[in-house]
Structure 1
Amino acid sequence: MKNLSIIYIFLLALVSCGIERYDDGSKLYKFYYFDGTLKKTQLQKPGEGIGNGYWKYYDEDGNITKEFQRTGGKSNGMVKFYWKNGKLKAEEFMVFGVLTGSYTSYYERGSKEYLGQKVNGKFEGVWLHFNGDGDTLQKFLYKNGELIGETSLAQTKNNKLK
């Protein structure tokens, strides 16, 4: 019975995956949901190890949800997340699996929601929170992941942040 289970899993993996090979030696792996809809792709260039390369993930309706580069088995570089409507939801910069660098999130209709930086996975420096029209609502100041200051629109004169 155990051997039949292993054979079934192996055959299922073969059916749910496809590979395209290119002249430069790159391979595009395609993985599918049970209904045949594309689930994720991995573009692997020559010399990149197993699991590394450029990945894209899709939901059951075929909409892209996430894309990123993996190096050394970890996310490395800009990671992008998407709303169901295809617009950008968030961008974050990873260095071998650790959030380090810029972070921006967006409302579903496309305007910025938050903008800031992370260092070793922790909030750092000035972070801004915007309303759906692009006006700054709040300004936060972080040091080593700790909130050390905050200004909100209600605390300022003439409804403008300085």
Structure 2
Amino acid sequence: MQSSKLIGVLFLGMSLGGSTAFAGDLANKAGLNIKLNCPAGSSQFGNPDDGLYCRKSVSTDGYSVPHGPYTAYHPGGKKSVEGQYVEGFRSGTWVYYDKSGNVTEKIQFGRENYNGRREQYFTNGKLRLVEEYVGGKRQGLTQEFSEDGKVIRQVRYHNDQEVAAK
């Protein structure tokens, strides 16, 4: 008799626990039935928390690489990052967001390396840092700003080496 009550309690607990966890997942994903615009020959994979991306097969043995848009979301449903893959490498501009939806960083990539402009932002939306990269190495002027928008530091780089500071 006691064992049947114990089994009943365990069954009820597992049922409620499972449905509660499922309901929580649904609440976190409310309205997040996201479909990426995957390029021809690729399919969507992943989930909103870990990232949604497109991937395509590049060999007969099933090896595949990310190719196309990538998006991930914070648990509350706001976007955390968006970017693009080309043939398995991050490419173009990737944008990162905080949990409130504010842009925190923009980075340009070329074959997985920083390649182009990298910008970081304060929570007020103003620039905090601007850097230029070529093939993963800092090149050109890097500027740091105060929250009120004033330049507080400038450094010039050549081939990832500091050549002048102000």
Whether TM-score is above 0.5 comes out as yes
Letter in 2 for 1:126: L
Confirm or deny that 1:109 pairs with 2:124.
yes
**How big is each residue's C-alpha offset from its partner over 1:77-97, in whole Å with a ceiling of 9 and x where there is no partner?**
111111221111111111111
Task: Map 1:73-84 onto structure 2 (within 5 A).
Answer: 73-84=88-99
Q: How much does 1:43 deviate?
A: 5.5
SS in 2 for 1:109: coil
Is the contact between residue 89 and residue 111 of structure 2 (CA under 8 Å) also seen in structure 1?
Answer: yes
Confirm or deny that 1:87 pairs with 2:108.
no
Please, what TM-score do these two structures have when normalized by structure 1? 0.66
The 2-side partners of 1:20 and 1:138 are apart by 43
Identity of aligned residues (%): 19
Is the contact between residue 122 and residue 145 of structure 1 (CA under 8 Å) also seen in structure 2?
Answer: yes
CA RMSD of aligned residues (A): 2.9
2:160 corresponding residue in structure 1 = 145
Letter in 2 for 1:56: T
**How big is each residue's C-alpha offset from its partner over 1:90-124, in whole Å with a ceiling of 9 and x where there is no partner?**
11111111111111110122100011200111111
1:53 corresponding residue in structure 2 = 68
Q: Which runs of 4+ in 1 moved over 4 A?
A: 18-22, 24-28
SS in 1 for 2:139: strand
2:138 corresponding residue in structure 1 = 123
SS in 1 for 2:99: coil
The 3 A distance-change label for structure 1 pair 27 and 146 is closer
**Tell me, which stretches of 5 or more residues in structure 2 are unaligned?**
1-32, 57-63
Q: How much does 1:61 deviate?
A: 2.2
SS in 2 for 1:61: coil
Q: How much does 1:28 deviate?
A: 7.2
Is the contact between residue 36 and residue 54 of structure 2 (CA under 8 Å) also seen in structure 1?
Answer: no
SS in 1 for 2:66: coil
Is the contact between residue 19 and residue 29 of structure 1 (CA under 8 Å) also seen in structure 2?
Answer: no
How many residue pairs get aligned? The number is 126
Q: How much does 1:50 deviate?
A: 4.8
The 3 A distance-change label for structure 1 pair 149 and 30 is same
Confirm or deny that 1:42 pairs with 2:53.
yes
SS in 2 for 1:51: strand
Which entry has the higher C-alpha Rg, 1 or 2? 2
**Tell me, which stretches of 5 or more residues in structure 1 are unaligned?**
1-17, 33-37, 152-162
Q: How much does 1:20 deviate?
A: 5.3
Confirm or deny that 1:64 pairs with 2:75.
no
Q: How much does 1:149 deviate?
A: 1.6
